[in-house]
Amino acid sequence: MKLILSSSNPDKIEEIQRILGDEYEVVLKSDIGLEDFDVEETGETLRENAYLKAKALYDKVKENIIADDSGLFVEALDFRPGVYSARYAGEYATYDDNNTKLLEELKDVTNLNDRRAYFMTTICFISKSGEVYYAEGKLDGYITTERRGTNGFGYNPLFLVKNTNKTLAEMDDLERLSINHRSKAIENLKQILEEIK
Burial of 35 (0-12, 13-18, 19+ CB in 10 A): exposed
Catalytic residues: 69
Binding residues for substrate: 7-12, 70, 153-156, 181-182
Exposed e or buried b per residue across 50-68, where buried means at least 16 C-beta atoms within 10 angstroms of its C-beta: bbbbbbbbbeebeebbbbb
Burial of 27 (0-12, 13-18, 19+ CB in 10 A): middle
CA 186 to each of CA 14, 54, 59: distance values in angstroms, whole numbers, following the listed order: 12, 15, 23
Distance CA(75)–CA(143), nearest Å, equals 10
Closest CA to 153 of 134, 171, 178, 132: 171
Strands 2-5, 65-74: parallel, antiparallel or unpaired by DSSP? parallel
Distance CA(112)–CA(166), nearest Å, equals 14
Distance CA(1)–CA(61), nearest Å, equals 16
Binding residues for Mg(2+): 40, 69
Binding residues: 7-12, 40, 69-70, 153-156, 181-182
Distance CA(147)–CA(43), nearest Å, equals 30
